[in-house]
Amino acid sequence: MDPMLTIAVRAARAAGDLIVRYTDRIDSLTISSKGRNDFVSEVDRQAELEIVNVLRKAYPSHAFLAEEGGRHGLPKGEFTWVIDPLDGTTNFLHGFPHFAVSIALLHKGRIECGVIYDPMRQELFTAKRGAGATLQSRRLRVTPQKTFKGALLGTGFPFKDQRHNDAYFGMFRELMKDTAGIRRAGSAALDLAWVACGRLDGFWEIGLMPWDMAAGVLLILEAGGIVTDFEGGDKFLETGNILTANPRLHVLMEETIRPHVTDALRHRPLLSEKHDEKDRPGQQ
Ligand code: IPD
Ligand code: CA
Ligand code: CA
């Protein structure tokens, strides 16, 4: 395995083990709110520290954009690790066993490696640019689903920022009409990993952050899928609006979603003010 990927896997497993150790002590955790419906616990913070410690030991000169560390903007430096130590915090805090650790490595802004680890199922997803994506060492491929009939889609509700509800539910209504079902499982990183491994045929969500998406995007690209913003462009890391599926289904999803895109959605800022540096302790 690529040396950087090996280190990322080590970091993801260490964080995943830590998270699992806390699953039977959730009631005793200190939980704070970062904003509307946006919670953070000491487990998120400890898991992030664990990851950063492993990565920094191996790569002391690399930069970090980690959710709980709060760096602002997409860094353009040589190497940057983009980390979500616990994707699906709300699930975790409710004992709903669906969450993951997500770690990606960017080189000059391009995603080179991605690791998503589901510690409850002990499923490890990895991707290396140009070398494919795997689940437990098995090569991944997106589904061949060509039509909405029979398709299973994933999504995330815009529960933190409800300004785009009309646009979102317009998309939802149309996509619900002809598909076999739509799932909202509560971990965007796992949603993307599940598109890459064919458990979902497609996925869309408004307002994700780079750490929710980076590793999953590479998994899907390496599994033969398409990832764009809602209008077929490449601004998903900037706008947080992501649309992904196999190439045939992606065309259909984009045609359905595009008419609901508003100017406000198109020009969503990269990182919202609540993720600004000044609000965050423990920057890395
Ligand atoms: C959240 C999850 C969720 C998505 C949210 C994310 P978090 O991440 O990925 O599925 O709908 O937009 O913020 O806060 O649990 O790391
Ligand atoms: Ca997240
Ligand atoms: Ca998180």
* Model pLDDT for residues 8-32, shown as the tens digit of each residue: 999 999 999 999 999 988 878 777 7
| Same domain as 135, residue 157 | no
| Same domain as 93, residue 69 | yes
| Same domain as 102, residue 162 | no
Domain count within the chain? 2
| Same domain as 253, residue 176 | yes
31 CA → ligand 2 middle, Å: 16
- Within a 13 Å sphere around the CA of 194, how many CA atoms are in the beta-carbon half? 24
pLDDT at 283: 33
| Same domain as 123, residue 180 | no
**pLDDT above 80 (res 270):** no
Q: Give the mutation target among 33, 159, 187, 211 for probing the ligand 1 site: most ligand atoms within 8 A of CB.
A: 187
Q: What is the mean pLDDT of the chain?
A: 90
CA distance 38 to 213: 17
pLDDT digits (tens, 9 = 90+) for 66-123: 998 855 455 556 999 999 999 999 999 999 999 999 999 999 999 999 999 999 999 9
- State mean pLDDT over 222-240: 96
Domain assignment of residue 284, yes or no: no
- What is the CATH classification number for the domain harbouring 82? 3.30.540.10
Nearest-atom index, ligand 1, CA of 208 = 12
Name the residue range of residue 246's domain: 152-266
Domain assignment of residue 38, yes or no: yes
Tokens of 72: 């602002």
| Same domain as 132, residue 31 | yes
How many CB atoms lie under 10 A from the CB of residue 268?
Answer: 19
Starting at the edge strand found earlier in the chain, the sheet holding 138-139 runs: 63-66, 79-87, 100-107, 110-118, 123-128, 132-135, 138-139
| Ligand 1 pocket, residues with Cβ under 6 angstroms | 84, 87-90, 156, 186-188, 205, 208, 212
| Same domain as 227, residue 169 | yes
